[in-house]
Amino acid sequence: MLPTTPDAAAAVDPAAFAAELEAWLQTHPPAVVRASEHVADYPTRVRIMQDLMQVLWDESFVRYGWPVEVGGLGGSFLHRAAMWEGLARHGVLGMNLFEHLEVLLPTLVELGPRDFTAEHVPLYLSGREIWSQGFSEPGAGSDLAALRTKAVADGDGYRISGQKIWTSWSVWADWCCVLARTGTTESRHRGITAFIVKLSDPGVEVRGIWQANGNEELAEVFFDDVFVPADRIVGELDGGWRVAMHILSHERGTFAWFRHNFLYQQLIEFGASSPDAPEFLLGDALLDLVAATACSANGVKEHAAGEILGPRACTNKLMLCTAEQSVQDAILAGDVDLAVGVQDELTDLLRQEYLFSRIVTVYGGSQQMQLETIAKQVLKLP
């Protein structure tokens, strides 16, 4: 068994961790089996994943790769990468709303208020709390520096007013990392601060946005004079741009490793097993996945070494988006009834996955913005 105390756990290398995890997965734990079933109803999938996270916490697997100071057992990013790869290989269908464990949580651990983070990271890792990310606004999507949600100083805190849109998971979330303007509109990215806002506080209203695939993954969030204590600032006052870039480096970079593992399993189960799937589409999907593997694996290694990918993360996101769409194109071609077929559980689920794949080149920064970033900041083109 893996050690469950920080001093002993720190010595566990990722290979030993992966071997112990594999041995446990071979016993077919009920929570893993349940998370591998084809369930179309998204709220039900949310509850299933919360149950799985609690089991992973109880078994200590999800605590590896996180600092002891926030309830973890030490280790590196490689432990987390190995855990989700193993879960995907054993049939777990996706991270669902726990994607933010690898998008938002690393930034909270590094830049968030110490006492608050130490209290709430264990609650998120164990599935007892859920987080969302309040960045985009109706008039500030790709141009994030144009955001208008304001935070005005008030005693020992701030009053936040404004609106966010496309805030993933806010329908289910307890907390939201919100970017708000603490400087003038003209200050652009230099006058933004990141706050931790409790979504059940007075003045907060969350309205789910029904997507084409039938889920409420996204939401509008309205803030009407919401009081946030000053000790819930992430990073520094007016330092929200650094926080945002730290988060986006994970969302566009290392997250590709986690997501693409689940895409491999989808291609194997629903694409390669279909006699009607065109071989050239299967080949394209596999090549795109291999490219995503190569890019994201490098990102995993760099992250484990304490480096931040920065603008290079855009390449990983582009590779992942291409792979996501290629895999779903191959699956659809193998069973065209997915588009109009009977709405049974599996058909509904696969249809959701296909429709989701159409938006991946927009969310988290559009494909055009990623290409522009690579051109200007990586290739240094004029």
Catalytic positions, written as ranges: 251
Q: How far is residue 243 from each of residues 125, 197, 234, measured CA to CA in Å?
A: 21, 15, 7
Are 28 and 55 in contact by the 8 Å Cβ rule? The answer is: no
**Alpha carbon distance 140, 101 (integer Å):** 25
Query: Alpha-carbon distance 181 to 160, whole Å?
Result: 9
